[in-house]
Structure formats: structure tokens, C-alpha cells
Chains A and B, each alone.
Chain A
Amino acid sequence: MEVQKTEAQKEINKSNSRTVATDSSFAIQTEKLTKTYGHSRGITELNLEVGEGEVFGFLGPNGAGKTTTIRLLLNLIKPNSGRATVLGLDSQRDSVEIHKHIGYLPGEFSLYPGLTGAETLKYFANLRGGVDWKVITTMAERLELDMSKKFRAYSRGNKQKVGIIQALMHQPRLLVLDEPTSGLDPLNQQEVYKMLHEARQAGSSVFFSSHIMSEVEKICDRVGIIREGKLVKVGGISDLTDLKSHVLELTFAGTVPLEEFKKLAGVDHLEKVSINSHEVLRCTVRADMLDAVVKTAAKYPLVNFVSREPSLEDTFLDYYRDENRAN
């Protein structure tokens, strides 16, 4: 039964034909977007661009401003200054129009404890003007969600599945997801990646925050890193070479002056130990400074040279921790 879906559906159909700025090449664009909560939290003059059809990963440590940015885009909170456009529309003035075309999953959410998963999804489907029930059941089967249970009886992962389905079920043009795979088991995480991939194939843009670097590497075209409310890095996964560093272990036959390596830019975590009468020097070196380190090392009798590329996760962690580097 198509329960009273006509009115909302008409609204969406009408809006599809008139308001959304389909010529905009940006799914999201922010200009000097600022939101502060006292002195300690918020975002400062955030300039961000996410292209249409792009999967953009938004990374940062806890409290960096990821959720604040997302809530500003949704017009759930108001900026102190600056502006944001979503699908070419002003995030504040045109928020209702924007909401017609986005799917949103908050980082933490609560729903109606007395409603079953099916009732919850049907309710939200109706609020969105109706969604083909088959789409919902297919998604529920893919995520192995038993929709007959009440929301209060769901585990954390199952609650997250309800949230994911309500965000994806109406095939929105833009998905805004705050840590979408949080609480899911690895199999379901993989299924969500597939669903996001399919959404992208169908033309949707995806903007999501995450802490899981492997998923960022797997599904993102570009990544933005936010730290203490400021966007410190934006780039394609393959372009983030300056973020990448090498872990070096150099074994010398004789004595090596540590100071000479300390002087080199881009060299961190430098240490020297003696092993079997050899001096072993360990350090991390930024990719663009590797050449200088190798040339310096070549001046001394080198016995062994081991270079290992750290995981992206190590690199990001390093980036988060290193305040000077971020600034």
C-alpha cells in the first residue's frame, strides 16, 4: 500500500525539475566556514570542495571538527561566519531542498525504541515521499538485518544498519555519512563498501568521515584531513606522497655522526644503536627527502640498507600527532 506518498513525492518530483543546481560541479563547497563552541572546539575558516560523483573521505582525530562540519552542511547547526553550498544550494537558505537529495547518517543517533526496524524504515521512507519496499528489503537482506525486531532490541551494529539503510534507500544524490561502518562486523563493512561503490556508480557523491584508513584507501577518491578545526591537507589518495614516509634502517661498518642526519629536513625519530660491532641508524624519512638521506649515508661504509614504506594508517597517525607538521 502506498500510504499517502503522493504529496511528498510530488514535492520531490517538482524540485527535481526546478531547484537543484545540476550544473554545479561541486557536491559540497565551503568558504571560510567557521563554527566555534567557546575556545576549544569547532572549525575555523574551512574551505572545502567535493566534486559531484566523488567519494571524499574526511579524516581527523576525535574532536577535530568532522561532525561539526557535517552538521553545518545539514543545517543542524548554524555557522558563525562563512558559507556552505551543497549541490549548488545554500546550506542554510535551501536546507529543505538539499535534504530532498541527500542521505544522512549521524555518528550517534537514536530512534524510536518501540518501533520495529521495518516500521522505522517505512516511517522514514514515508517522510521522504515513499520508497519502493523492495529496495529496503534488498538492502536489509544484504546487511542481514532482521527488520521484525524492535529498535530497542537491536545490537549496536544492527542499529547502525537501520541508519545506513535509511540513508541509502532513496538513492540520494549525495550521501553524508559520519563513520558509517562503526559497529559493523568485517563482512557487513565489506557489504557497505559495495553499496557505496554502487551508489557512486549510479552517480551519487559520498562525503564521509572515518577513522579506518583501509576503508579510506579502498573507497575514496580524495581525502581531507582536519585537525583542531582546520583543514590541514586535501588531496587524492595517490597524491598524498608528501604524507608518506619511509622507515629506514642503515647499518654501517664504522662510526657515523648522528648530527649530520639530524640536520637534514624531513628526518624524524632518529636513533642510533650498536649491534654486533656495527652502528645501526634508524629513522623515518619523508618521501621527498629520501634522496638527501641516501646521499648522506653513502658517504660512510654502508653494510646494509633496509627501507620499508609505512602503512597509510601509520602515516595518518604520524600526521595527527605531529603538530608542527600539520601547521
Chain B
Amino acid sequence: MLLNIFLKTVRDYRRQILIWGGGLGLIMLSYGAAYSSVFGEGPNRAKLIEDYRKTIDSFSILTGKVYDIDTFGGYINVKIGSVMPVLLGIWALLVGSALVRSEEERGSLDLLASTPRTRVSLLWQKEAGLLVALVGILIPIWLGLTLAAIISKATLSPFDAALACLNWGLAALVFGALALLFSQLTSRKIAASWAGGLMAGTYLLNNLSQSVESLKWTGYINPFYYISLSQPLAISVGPNWGGMVVLALIIVLEVGVAVWMFQQRDLNGYFELFKRSSAVVVTKARKLPEPTAPWLSNNFGFGLRATWTGIVVWALSISAYTLLMLASFNDIKGSMVDLLGNTDIYKQLGFTNLTSNENLLSLFIFLFLVLLVAAYAVIQVASWTSEENEGRLELVLSVPQPRWRLLLTYFGVAVVSTALMIGLTGAIFALSCLIFNISVNAANAFGAFFGLWVVGLIIEAIGYILAAFGPGWAVAVTGGLVIVSYLTDLLDQVLKIPEALVKLSVFREYGKPLVNGLDWLVILVMLTLSVVFVSGAVFRFQQRDIEK
């Protein structure tokens, strides 16, 4: 496996193939195997399916449009198939952004590039390695799907299952290649976050555009539109070869541009369209003015300055979606009320009066906003752990400051940065409501944004206490907890999760403050828990070794 770059790349992904492929394959198998018992064969089958279809249709913003729900393929699509492009896309964009950039950041690419092969060959071998790894992940998924169909005695041909996997794979590659392209322009982390943001945005936009006529045009420039054209698991739709060809062309274009940029740019540098050529100038130290920027004066200012770009980018990205919603809100409100009124699921979720602006906005904005704030909080945790993981903490801790103060300062930065991001988003939301003449209960709106900050705060506190035990795995575990917590809140009815467990979900505790106002007792509990977690983090951080 160490014969060449291609095989070495495949070898590097062997654990990921096992974890992602095995995990998703098992999920596919477990969902599929349960198919026959869900609707049963009794006299109520037709009604059950109809109720289920209505429920799922109302979730179309999350799942996209779902077809043939009464078939095995349609059922699989509902359960997991519709989000497979996103799940595999997350893997692909993380891998794509790191494909060459992680070697550059580690310093090993220089050595690799010094071996007798062209840069094009180097990148193609790595890209081919990624492709093989993706196939390695898709094979267990296909196996899980096919086996589940056999167990459920469902009519799904292995070929159709393979076509579904092909479509998901193409979807993942679109975002993997995009991240690879972005990584020619910027650092690995930023490339991954740009690609991730675009993936999340285009996914939601595509799902929304299927219900909102005025947004239909966006489909032509949205990869998820072409992904959703193919529904190999749904017999009534089937594969769409045109859509797949467009996806393949997008991938070829992205990889082509990435290869071209990789050839042009400096290793350990970023691609510049117009290269600046200037003589080497050495600035004498005594001629250099003393840096006087206030943010250099202490850890807090320094940390806050480092998060400033993130604050603005996140707030503006979220606000772009919010603006899109609010701009067309009064036009689409009527059709939304009709569409959503046909199902009871929203009542079960607590959206009791779908004719009110608060209910609709809570459903279409805050249901996602809280998840995005959680993601932002996880990134803040990652920012803290990276200080240690990337070897900077060693020097920072050699200056005269106690560990507890350093930890609390960084935590303070995370908390203030989250507050600023939410504050900016809230201000744009309020302004947009005024401009587009949408009436919303101001106190509840304030409570909703304040609650978002508390959600961010408690996630950061959990992340910090986990980081105090293991900076290497804290971010992954915090992220996992957020996803489990969100799904627990969202799918508790469908999955029949015990109430006691659901109450542990931070998203359940956040509730629907835009509709019901903020539950200050819950907020107080979350604030108290945050203090407890951070105290625990401080205690543990004081005791343990700093990793090299």
C-alpha cells in the first residue's frame, strides 16, 4: 500500500472507509429491515401510509420532496436516502479540503513534491485515492440496502440500489471537489467551512424552492436540484441521466480548475490570479513601527479579533437565508398555511397556530437557526482545542498567567463571539421584519435570540469540559452530541424516544420562544449548568498535562 501516492492515499482512508461505510451500511440495513413492520399488512395500511406521507411532506424543507412512500425505496429515501448526499458530502468536503492542504500545513508536501513526478500526477493520484475511498464507503451502503431489500422481501433491484449509490456518490464528489478547489485559495479549515456552508445553503434552498414557485429558478444553479432529479429508489421517478451527467461535468470542472490552480501556485501558498512581482525587501527592525493595535494587548482582545471574520461571515450567511425567507414571506404565507395545515405533525412539535407569523417564522427560520448556532458553538470549541492541538499553547502558557485565567479568557471570547454573531443576525432580522412589514412579537423575538445565545453557551461549556479531558477528540464528541441532541428533539415522535431522554436535548429545552416566549427557569438551569461545566473544565485543565 506504500507503492505510490494513490495507494498511500487509499491506505490513509482505510479507517474512514470502515467507519463511514460500515456505519452507513448498518444504518441502511437496520432501517430497511424494519420496513415490513412499519406499515404492516393490516386493513389500516393505506391510511397509515397516507398519514405518514402527510407528515413527511411537511418535513420537505428538511428531506426534500419524497416519492413512492408506500414502496421500500421511497421509505428508505424518507428515512435516510434524502440526507445521504449531505452525510457523504460532509465526509467528502472534509477529505477534499485536506487532500493536499493538510500535507502542506503539516509540511510534508514539499518532500512529496520533491519526488520525480509532476504536480498534476500528484494531485490526480490523491484525487483517485479519494474516489476509491468513496467507492469503498458506497459498497457497504449498497450491500446494506440490497440485503435489507432481500430481508424485507421488497422489490428493489441491486442495479437500482447501485444507481442510488452512484447518485449519492456524485453528490458527495461535487462538494469534495469544491472543497479541494477552495483549498487552493485558502487554508484547510476555511475551505471546509466555505464548502460546508455552501452545501447547507444549497440543500435548504433546493428543498425550499420545490415548494415556493418564486424560488424555482435557483434550481438551475443549484447542484442539489440535479441530485434530486435522480430518484433511483423511487420507481415512479427513476434515474435521471441528464442530472447525473451535469453533476459529473461540475465535478470535472471543479477538479480541473483545482488542478490548474495547484500547478500555478506556490506550495504552502495560495493561488493568486494576478501574481505580484516585486523585489525582495528586507525591512530593518528599527525602521518598523511598534505595533500598537489594541487587540494585541491581551488574550481576550487577541482572541476576539481572530473570530471577527467568522462572526461576520456566519451572521451574513444566516441573514442571507433569513432575508430570502422574509422577502417572500407575505407572498408565500397563504400557500404555506394551506400546505402545513393538512398535517398534525406541527401540533405535535408545538406549532399550534400555523396562521401566526411567529409559528411560521419559528418553523422556517429558528428551527435551523438554533442548529446553525450550535454548529458555530462547536467551531468555537474547535478554536480552543486547536491552540493545544497545533502546539501554540506551550508558549502561551509560559507567560505569567494561571491556566484558569487563560481558559476562562478563551471561553469568554467564545461566548462574546457567539453573542455578537447572534446579535448581528438578530439586528438584521429585526430590520428585515420592519422593511418587509412583518409583524412579530418583539419580546418573544428578543427572547428567541437570547435563547439562541444560551444554547451556544451551554454547548461551548460542554465542549470545554470535554476538551479539558481530551483536546484531540473533544470537538468530534461535542459535534456528535449536538447532532444526536437535535435529532432526538426533532424525531422523538417518529422514533418514540422516552420523554426523559428528550428532555436532555438542548434543542428541546430551547423550545419555541418566538411562539411561546422564553422559559426563564429553563434558561436559568442552562446558565447554571454552563457555569458547572466550565468550572469542571477549569478544574481538570489545571490538573492535566499539556499535550505536545
A residues contacting B by CB (< 8 A) are 1, 3-5, 8, 11-12, 67, 71, 74, 76-78, 95-97, 99-100, 102, 104, 106, 108-112, 116, 118-119, 122-124, 126-129, 133, 136-138, 140-141, 145-148, 152, 163, 166
Whether B397 is near chain A, meaning CB under 8 Å from some CB there, is yes
Nearest-CB distance from B117 to chain A (Å)?
25
Nearest-CB distance from B122 to chain A (Å)?
22
In the complex, the answer to whether B391 meets A108 with C-beta atoms within 8 Å is yes
The 5 closest A-B pairs by CB, nearest first: A140-B285, A77-B545, A104-B398, A110-B391, A100-B400
A-B contact pairs, 11 of them (CB 8 A): A3-B292, A4-B297, A71-B546, A77-B546, A78-B545, A99-B398, A99-B400, A138-B285, A147-B285, A148-B288, A163-B395
> A106-B394, A111-B395 are contacts. A137–B286 as well, Cβ < 8 Å?
yes
CA–CA, A5 to B296, complex, Å? 11
* Partner among A5, A104, A109 whose Cβ is within 8 Å of the Cβ of B391: A109
Q: Which B residue's beta carbon lies closest to that of A130? A: B297
In the complex, the answer to whether B392 meets A78 with C-beta atoms within 8 Å is no
> A76-B397, A111-B395, A127-B299 are contacts. A118–B286 as well, Cβ < 8 Å?
no
11 further contact pairs, Cβ within 8 A, besides A99-B399, A137-B286 = A4-B298, A8-B400, A12-B400, A96-B400, A108-B548, A109-B392, A112-B306, A126-B298, A127-B401, A128-B399, A147-B288
In the complex, the answer to whether A123 meets B400 with C-beta atoms within 8 Å is no
CA–CA, A62 to B424, complex, Å? 52
Q: Which A residue's beta carbon lies closest to that of B398? A: A104
* Partner among A96, A140, A166 whose Cβ is within 8 Å of the Cβ of B402: A96
Whether B290 is near chain A, meaning CB under 8 Å from some CB there, is yes
Whether B43 is near chain A, meaning CB under 8 Å from some CB there, is no
In the complex, the answer to whether A76 meets B291 with C-beta atoms within 8 Å is no
CA–CA, A111 to B288, complex, Å? 20
Whether B390 is near chain A, meaning CB under 8 Å from some CB there, is yes
- What residues of chain A lie closer than 8 Å to B543, measured between beta carbons? 78
* Partner among B291, B396, B546 whose Cβ is within 8 Å of the Cβ of A119: B291
Whether B282 is near chain A, meaning CB under 8 Å from some CB there, is yes
CA–CA, A185 to B124, complex, Å? 38
Whether B294 is near chain A, meaning CB under 8 Å from some CB there, is yes
- What residues of chain A lie closer than 8 Å to B296, measured between beta carbons? 3, 119, 122-123, 126
Nearest-CB distance from B410 to chain A (Å)?
14
Whether B314 is near chain A, meaning CB under 8 Å from some CB there, is no
Whether B276 is near chain A, meaning CB under 8 Å from some CB there, is no
A-B contacts counted at CB < 8 A amount to: 108
* Chain B interface SS verdict (over half): loop
* Partner among A1, A77, A127 whose Cβ is within 8 Å of the Cβ of B298: A127
CA–CA, A138 to B285, complex, Å? 7
Q: Which A residue's beta carbon lies closest to that of B280? A: A146
* Partner among B290, B394, B397 whose Cβ is within 8 Å of the Cβ of A122: B290
In the complex, the answer to whether A141 meets B392 with C-beta atoms within 8 Å is no
In the complex, the answer to whether A3 meets B297 with C-beta atoms within 8 Å is yes
In the complex, the answer to whether B395 meets A109 with C-beta atoms within 8 Å is yes
Whether B494 is near chain A, meaning CB under 8 Å from some CB there, is no
In the complex, the answer to whether A133 meets B299 with C-beta atoms within 8 Å is no
- What residues of chain B lie closer than 8 Å to A166, measured between beta carbons? 395
* Partner among A12, A97, A123 whose Cβ is within 8 Å of the Cβ of B302: A123
CA–CA, A3 to B285, complex, Å? 20
CA–CA, A147 to B288, complex, Å? 8
Q: Mark B202-242, 1 if CB is under 8 A from A, else 0.
A: 00000000000000000000000000000000000000000
Q: Mark B268-309, 1 if CB is under 8 A from A, else 0.
A: 100000000000001111101011111011110010001000
Name which of B284, B292, B394, B401 has the most chain A CB atoms within 10 A of its CB: B394
Q: Which A residue's beta carbon lies closest to that of B105? A: A113
- What residues of chain A lie closer than 8 Å to B546, measured between beta carbons? 71, 76-77
* Partner among A76, A99, A137 whose Cβ is within 8 Å of the Cβ of B545: A76
Q: Mark B128-156, 1 if CB is under 8 A from A, else 0.
A: 00000000000000000000000000000
- What residues of chain A lie closer than 8 Å to B496, measured between beta carbons? none
Q: Mark B524-548, 1 if CB is under 8 A from A, else 0.
A: 0000000000000000000111101
Nearest-CB distance from B17 to chain A (Å)?
30
Nearest-CB distance from A163 to chain B (Å)?
8
Name which of B268, B285, B399, B546 has the most chain A CB atoms within 10 A of its CB: B285
In the complex, the answer to whether A124 meets B395 with C-beta atoms within 8 Å is yes
Name which of A3, A116, A124, A152 has the most chain B CB atoms within 10 A of its CB: A3
CA–CA, A97 to B402, complex, Å? 9
> A147-B288, A148-B288 are contacts. A112–B545 as well, Cβ < 8 Å?
no
* Partner among B268, B297, B392 whose Cβ is within 8 Å of the Cβ of A112: B392
* Partner among A124, A133, A148 whose Cβ is within 8 Å of the Cβ of B283: A148
Q: Which A residue's beta carbon lies closest to that of B397? A: A76
- What residues of chain B lie closer than 8 Å to A108, measured between beta carbons? 391, 548
CA–CA, A112 to B187, complex, Å? 13
CA–CA, A136 to B276, complex, Å? 30
CA–CA, A148 to B268, complex, Å? 19
